[in-house]
Amino acid sequence: MSIIDNTVDKELIDLVDSLFGQAADSGEDHRSIWGTLSELGLARLTGDESSGGSGAGWGEAAALLSGAAAKGVPVPYVETDLLAGWLLEQAGLPVDDRPRTVAIVDADGRGHRVAWAREVSSIVVVQAKEDGWAVSDVPAESVEIVDHPALGREPRAGIRVDVAKLDQAESGSLSDAQFAVHQLRGALARSLQTVAALETAADLAKEYVVTRHQFGRPLAKFQSVQNLIVDAVAEATLARSAVDEALYEAIETGLEGPDSVFRVAVAKSVVGRAASVVVRNTHQALGAIGTTEEHSLHKFTNAALTWRSEFGSIRVWEEALGAAAGAGSVDDVWAMVVGAGPVTAPAVGR
């Protein structure tokens, strides 16, 4: 059981489960799913009510994005609401419930591995400036797609925007502190998605080894197979605990508290390492069928591996934890472990 079950209205959880369950069974297109989310007031679930949002919090957002990830339904909710919508509100720019994504671009206007870049209506472009970060809401048709990497079912693409035109567009600005919170939001959202996918992968593997027979008995009767499943479930459970701690921090402080970086760093580290074990063990348990269209396992494992690498790799976040530990005394390290302590957010992007 997750903190989501204890903090979010059960009616919303049931609605999300039903909505994405039906979408998964029918193979519904993400555009149709997005239309349903908009009709239900879920597309901008955490948006400010003054700008047309529903005014919900991190708990409700976690229920929605986890529900989609657990059912294997690709939809740009995280990008639109938790990232792009939040950035536009922080920068004082208008926002609506059209699907959006975020691209952090360099001085030449290039952004890499931008989620849903080819599918959204608008791209919120963020560019570093001397005194902070410039934010512009750019129509998708004004952005050039320069490559189309295929990473699972959620599309990613490299983009290029005309920097000269970007400078002339209506824009807002963010401070370095606000940008750091944006990165924490992305890291936590990806951790929530990853752990939900890992839990489903472990459940699929458990079901398969119980029902699949080999040499006259279920695969689950073989000790080596049992070990694979037990380790996968244990890692997914540990990852859920770490993510719950970070989610509680988000609910309480909006990821602006003194412990926020620590909690998110631990979540990213634990989830990332759990992904290696869960993906390896579940595919070993299922064998070749886990990579075919006949079975859905690969949809969840591919998604988990994609998500865990975004908004900072395992190494980036663990180096931040290591630097914080190495900078203090033994007492400081223990205080960091049991009470969070000071950890500086790494400079991570997509």
Which element (helix H / strand E) includes 122?
strand 122-129
Confidence at residue 350, expressed as pLDDT on a 0 to 100 scale:
43
> What residues does 137 pair with on adjacent strands?
124
Query: Which residue in the block uniquely carries the two structure tokens 């597309």?
Result: 43
Residue-by-residue pLDDT tens, the chain, 350 positions: 789 999 999 999 999 999 999 999 998 888 999 999 999 999 999 999 988 889 999 999 999 999 999 999 999 999 999 999 999 999 999 999 999 999 999 999 999 999 999 999 999 999 998 889 999 999 999 999 988 766 567 889 999 999 887 776 778 999 999 999 999 999 999 999 999 999 999 999 999 999 987 887 888 889 999 999 999 999 999 999 999 999 999 999 999 988 888 899 999 999 999 999 999 999 999 999 998 888 999 999 999 999 999 999 999 888 888 776 665 554 555 565 555 556 666 766 54
The rounded distance, in Å, linking the Cα atoms of 308 and 131 is: 30
Confidence at residue 131, expressed as pLDDT on a 0 to 100 scale:
85
The rounded distance, in Å, linking the Cα atoms of 182 and 132 is: 13
Domains identified in the chain and CATH numbers: 1-75 (no CATH), 98-174 (2.40.110.10), 176-338 (1.20.140.10)
One-character DSSP codes across 126-174: EEEETTEEEEEEEEGGGSEEEE----TTS-EEEEE--HHHHHHS-EEEE
Q: Which residues contact 27 (CB under 8 A, 6 or more apart)?
A: none
The rounded distance, in Å, linking the Cα atoms of 347 and 110 is: 18
* Angstrom distances, CA of residue 95 to CA of 40, 181, 190: 18, 19, 23
How many residues does this entry show for the chain? Answer: 350
- Give the DSSP letter of residue 100: E
The rounded distance, in Å, linking the Cα atoms of 233 and 81 is: 31
CB atoms within 10 A of CB 47: 24
Q: Which of 23, 6, 16, 70 is nearest to 199 (CA)?
A: 70
Angle in degrees, CA 144, 148, 152, rounded to 5: 140
The token duo for 214 is 């080999």
End-to-end CA distance of the chain: 30
The token duo for 32 is 């149709």
Q: What's the whole-model pTM score? A: 0.92
Q: 51: helix, coil or strand?
A: helix
Confidence at residue 51, expressed as pLDDT on a 0 to 100 scale:
83
- 280-337 pLDDT tens trace: 999 999 999 998 888 999 999 999 999 999 999 999 888 888 776 665 554 555 565 5
The token duo for 48 is 């400010």
